[in-house]
Amino acid sequence: MTMTRRAALAALFVPFSIGHAAPAQPPADPVAYISAIYRAYMTLPFDKIPALEHWALSPRLRSLIAADKAYAKGEVGRLDFDPIIDGQDWKLSGLKVTLVSQSSDTAAIVDATFLNLGSKERIRFTLVRADGKWLIDEIEAVNSPRWILSKILAGAPDAYPDAQTTK
């Protein structure tokens, strides 16, 4: 392998290779940013995948995650799965990331569809742009059983819209 190619590969993987260090600066394109997150899940070992709070998140979502951690008092909080893959384990294939909508350069909605361990998944990301970078502001499952991350973290009764409620 040439030195140039080795340097290029190192530049791509170094941001993801140090434990749960923060990932590299998100790409300027919202689809590229979400694609990069899934690329990490598809190429890196389990113990090298950054935790949710290490991705570029909006202050609102970051605050909800911090509040859930405080609520949990060192135990598992309200969020007991990885919302990026809608599960705890993964083997992803057939990834397709598409732009659903974009409002000028300040907000975007991006869908990721894929198979995870044979199950069809469709995860929707709402992104906002701040300081020149895209930040994840919401994550939700589009397929049933649906869920909305911010509502899970806040303990809202409608966090899982498809759940049966008893009255």
User: Across-strand partners of 122?
Assistant: 113
Buried b (16+ CB within 10 A) or exposed e, 66-80: eebeeeeeeeebbbe
pTM, entire model: 0.82
Q: Is residue 89 part of a domain?
A: yes
Q: Is residue 9 part of a domain?
A: no
Provide the 8-state DSSP code for 158. Answer: T
Do 78 and 155 contact (CB within 8 A), yes or no?
Answer: yes
Q: Is residue 159 part of a domain?
A: no
pLDDT in tens, the chain (167 residues): 443 333 333 333 333 333 444 455 566 799 999 999 999 999 999 999 999 999 999 999 999 999 999 999 989 899 999 999 999 999 999 999 999 999 878 999 999 999 999 999 999 999 999 988 999 999 999 999 999 999 999 999 999 999 875 55
Q: Is residue 135 part of a domain?
A: yes
Residue numbers of the domain that contains 62: 26-154
Q: Is residue 14 part of a domain?
A: no
CATH number at residue 123: 3.10.450.50
Q: Is residue 13 part of a domain?
A: no
Number of domains in the chain: 1
Residue from 35, 60, 58, 36 nearest 136 by CA: 58
Q: Is residue 92 part of a domain?
A: yes
Q: Is residue 2 part of a domain?
A: no
